[in-house]
Amino acid sequence: MKYNHAEVLNKATELFWQKGYQGTKMRDLQEHLDMRPGSIYAGFGSKEALFLQVLNCYVEQSLNKIDEYNRSVTHPLEALKYFVSDFILVNGKLENCRICLLVKTVSESETSQPTLHTHALSGLQKIQQKFTELFTQAQQLKLLSQTANTEQLGKWLQMQIMGLVIYSKNCAEQQDITLMIEHIFSTFRQPS
């Protein structure tokens, strides 16, 4: 049976996001992907190998989205703001927000699946590095203080996103989240 690799990864991502790695059984994958166990093993090797590909795809899509924003807006801080807004307000709606798949994996796999844990941490590091790159670009454009530590800003922004996602689960007001995002990015503005 022929299958579309990217489509399978997208479907697997949805399932793993819903159930987590541990909660997803091979039977779940078979049903959700509409694939036989032999096809899954032949195409991906194992459930863990499939999940690692899902994580890689997730990181690649996130990095590509940041790059797309950076190409389409006037400056890197604006690109970061759009990325954060779209991550929290999925399709413009707060109720569509989900915890980052990498963060979810880190929190669920520390002792039970060290390979997955390490892989997810590596993915978070790659995204944080992309944030740092954009902060460095902003600094070169004199949009940030020349003394700002862009690496620390990359880590700080990642932490802010994690906090906003968790807060959004208990916050019924989209306007509150929008104001918080505005506040995060207003702290970067250079005084005129």
Q: What is the pTM of this model?
A: 0.89
> CA-CA distance, 80 to 89, in Å (whole number)?
14
Q: Per-domain residue ranges for the chain?
A: 54-186
> How is domain 54-186 classified at the CATH fold level?
Tetracycline Repressor; domain 2 (1.10.357)
Pair 98, 17: CB distance under 8 Å: yes
> CA-CA distance, 151 to 78, in Å (whole number)?
18
> CA-CA distance, 107 to 102, in Å (whole number)?
9
CB atoms within 10 A of CB 91: 7
Alpha carbon separation from 185 to 7, 74, 120, 161 (Å, rounded): 35, 15, 26, 12
- What tens-digit pLDDT sequence spans the chain (192 residues)? 567 888 989 999 999 988 989 899 989 998 998 888 888 888 888 899 999 999 999 999 999 999 999 999 999 999 999 999 999 988 878 776 778 889 989 988 877 889 999 999 999 999 999 999 999 999 999 999 999 999 999 999 999 999 998 888 887 688 988 999 999 999 886 655
Phi, psi of 112 (to 5 degrees): -80, -30
pLDDT value at position 100? Answer: 86
In the chain, the amino acid numbered 12 is A
